[in-house]
Amino acid sequence: MNRNPHVAVVGATGAVGVEMIKTLEKRNFPVGKLTLLASARSVGKTLTFRGQEIAITELTKDSFAGVDIALFSAGGGISKEYAPIAVQAGCVVVDNSSAFRMDDSVPLVIPEINGEDVKKHKGIIANPNCTTAITLMALYPLHKEFGVKRIFASTYQAVSGTGAQAIEELKRQVEEIVSDKPVTKQVYPHQIAFNVLPHVDSFLPEGYTKEEMKMENEGRKIMHHATFRASVTCVRVPVYRAHSVAVSAEFDKPVTAEAAREVLKKAPGLDVVDDPEKKEYPLPLYVAEKYNCQVGRIRNDCALDNGLCFWVVGDQLLKGAALNAVQIAEELLK
Ligand code: A2P
CA of 65 to the centre of ligand 1 (A): 20
Look at ligand 1, atom 4, and give the residue with the nearest C-alpha.
39
What is the three-class DSSP state of 296?
A: strand
**Which pairing describes strands 124-126 and 92-95: parallel, antiparallel, or unpaired?**
parallel
- Concerning whether 121 is annotated as a catalytic residue, the answer is no
pLDDT tens-digit profile of 124-173? Answer: 999 999 999 999 999 999 999 999 999 999 999 999 999 989 999 999 99
Burial of 106 (0-12, 13-18, 19+ CB in 10 A): buried
Closest approach atom of ligand 1 to CA 75? 12
Cα(226)–Cα(217) distance, integer angstroms: 9
Look at ligand 1, atom 15, and give the residue with the nearest C-alpha.
11
What is the three-class DSSP state of 18?
A: helix
Burial of 189 (0-12, 13-18, 19+ CB in 10 A): exposed
Domain 132-316 has CATH 3.40.50.920: no
Cα(10)–Cα(253) distance, integer angstroms: 44
Look at ligand 1, atom 21, and give the residue with the nearest C-alpha.
39
Question: Which residues are CB-neighbours of 152 under 8 A, at least 6 positions away?
Answer: 230, 231, 232, 247, 248
Ligand 1 neighbourhood includes 74 CB (under 6 angstroms): yes
CA of 14 to the centre of ligand 1 (A): 6
Cα(45)–Cα(51) distance, integer angstroms: 16
Cα(263)–Cα(101) distance, integer angstroms: 28
Ligand 1 neighbourhood includes 135 CB (under 6 angstroms): no
CA of 11 to the centre of ligand 1 (A): 5
What's the pLDDT at 112?
A: 98
Contact between 99 and 118 (Cβ < 8 Å): no
Helices (H) and strands (E) in the chain, counts: 9, 13
Q: In the CATH scheme, what is the homologous superfamily, with its name and number, of domain 6-128+321-333?
A: NAD(P)-binding Rossmann-like Domain (3.40.50.720)
pLDDT in tens, the chain (334 residues): 889 999 999 999 999 999 999 999 999 999 999 999 999 999 999 999 999 999 999 999 999 999 999 999 999 999 999 999 999 999 999 999 999 999 999 999 999 999 999 999 999 999 999 999 999 999 999 999 999 999 999 999 999 999 989 999 999 999 999 999 999 999 999 999 999 999 999 999 999 999 999 999 999 999 999 999 999 999 999 999 999 999 999 999 999 999 999 999 999 999 999 999 999 999 999 999 999 999 999 999 999 999 999 999 999 999 999 999 999 999 999 9
Quick one: residue 245, left, alpha or beta (phi over 0 = left, psi -120 to 50 = alpha)?
beta
Closest approach atom of ligand 1 to CA 59? 25
Ligand 1 neighbourhood includes 284 CB (under 6 angstroms): no
Ligand 1 neighbourhood includes 80 CB (under 6 angstroms): no
Cα(229)–Cα(210) distance, integer angstroms: 15
Domain residue extents for the chain: 6-128+321-333, 132-316
Ligand 1 neighbourhood includes 17 CB (under 6 angstroms): yes
Identify the active-site residue in 91, 121, 130, 234.
130
Look at ligand 1, atom 12, and give the residue with the nearest C-alpha.
74
According to DSSP, residue 115 is labeled G
CA of 39 to the centre of ligand 1 (A): 6
What's the pLDDT at 124?
A: 98
